[in-house]
Amino acid sequence: MHPAADWIKISVDGSTLSNPGPSGGGGIARNHDGEFLFAFSSGYSFNSNGKAEIRVIWEGLSCCQGLGYIKVEVASDSKSMVESLNNIKDTPSWPMWYWWSRTRALIEGREVIVSYSLRESNVVVDGLARKGKNSQSHHLFRASSDLPPVIRGLIILDRAGLGYLRGV
């Protein structure tokens, strides 16, 4: 589902090899027509699943702020993190507090919606998160032509509304 005309939607995903283990995250931002705006992938060293999920939400919002996007919907497949960010009283465990509080600071006073999306609808960002986890480096993609070919292919399938089977 696309955001309203004056909003952007950034889908994000964190990835961890084991819990805890080598981790990373990735995200893709699109406008109301579903057109590519930017994407990123980053390595987060050795972390838990939860830390990877909150860090990628923070990184997505930081990219949006740095690029001048004001009205942002963040879609994550981490239901617990989405619920925690939307209910300030439901704070995460101490190891995630640093990234959670930084993320809340980016949300406060801005037009930001944090929503839950099913993992199956997030194949593009799943690929970006794996790239970040495997490379342990940071990449900001400002043009879709800069993306790895596999990710570009997933975007084409996603935009056409075609499914993708994992592990096939």
Percentage of the residues of the chain whose pLDDT score is greater than 70: 91
Tens of pLDDT, residues 70-126: 999 999 999 989 998 998 666 677 788 899 999 999 999 899 999 998 865 678 899
Average pLDDT over residues 12-24: 91
Q: Any idea what the CATH number is for the domain that residue 145 is in?
A: 3.30.420.10
Structural domain count of the chain = 1
Is 167 a domain residue? no
Angle at 97 between CA 94 and CA 102, to 5 degrees: 170
Is 50 a domain residue? yes
Close Cβ partners of 112 (under 8 Å, ≥ 6 residues apart): 61, 72, 73, 74, 106
Among 53, 49, 44, 51, CA closest to 136: 44
Close Cβ partners of 162 (under 8 Å, ≥ 6 residues apart): none
Is 134 a domain residue? yes
Is 165 a domain residue? no
Please name every residue paired with 47 in a beta bridge, in sequence order, or none if there are none: 21
On whether the CB atoms of residues 29 and 8 are closer than 8 A, the answer is yes
Q: Find the farthest-apart pair of alpha carbons in the chain and give their distance in angstroms, rounded.
A: 44
CA 164/CA 50 separation, integer angstroms? 25
The domain of 57 spans: 8-159
Single-letter residue type at 150:
V
Is 111 a domain residue? yes
pTM, 2 dp: 0.90
Q: Which two tokens stand for residue 4?
A: 């309203």
Is 3 a domain residue? no
Is 164 a domain residue? no
